[in-house]
Amino acid sequence: MYDENEMPRPSNPEIRHRLLSDGGHVIHRLGFNGAGVQDIVAAANVPKGSFYSYFESKETFAAEVVQAYWDSIELRHGKVMYDARIKPLARIERLFELLVEDHAAQRFQLGCLVGNLSLELSNASTEVREALAGILARWEGMIAACLDEAMIRQELDGSRDSKQLAAIIVEAWEGAVLRSKVEGNGDACHRFLQATLKRLLN
């Protein structure tokens, strides 16, 4: 039932975008617990009251931030996974090469927001955990589709379980990114590209 005392939430896409983009960068840099709402709204250059006008809670915000983060990755790099001019296994390798380039641009200091929030919030927020699970399913689904195509083209052993292999690839990647963040260099990510991924796709 409509509550006449309940004020409708404002709809300003530009402010919402700034909060998710600029405020999302704060979450990525400082972590969920390290970033306060004041830090988020200051980065977005909006009044503090605007935050709760657009997001019910900080956890809701984090769930939408990580979704926006993954949407950005798909927008920039996802098309390579559907490029018929590239062999399916090469598409997978290219996707992770592009991701390494993203992390290199940040000097391997920020890590993957999917992995960061998985460590920080998966046991604390059902909302964020469900968002992360959805992203992992989409990511692994893209990889599994390429693996299935490679099997059809007899470029990969047809007895392999594509869904399981896709999950292993993502898990190995997240471990490599975590170590690169700890060490502050790309050694682990490059080992993933040059050794781990090639062995998994062999």
Q: Which of 112, 115, 110, 89 is nearest to 99 (CA)?
A: 112
pLDDT, position 9: 53
**Domains recognised in the chain with CATH numbers:** 9-55 (1.10.10.60), 58-200 (1.10.357.10)
Average of per-residue pLDDT across 58-83:
97
Q: What's the pLDDT band for 49 if we cut at 50, 70, 90?
A: confident
Read off the pLDDT band of 2 (50, 70, 90): very low
- Could you tell me the sign of the dihedral formed by the alpha carbons of 121, 127, 70, 191, in that order? positive
C-alpha distances in angstroms, 92 versus 144, 179, 188, 197? 10, 21, 18, 9
Model confidence over 32-45: pLDDT tens digits?
Answer: 999 999 999 999 99
Please say if the pLDDT value at position 4 is more than 70.
no
pLDDT at 6 > cutoff 60 = no
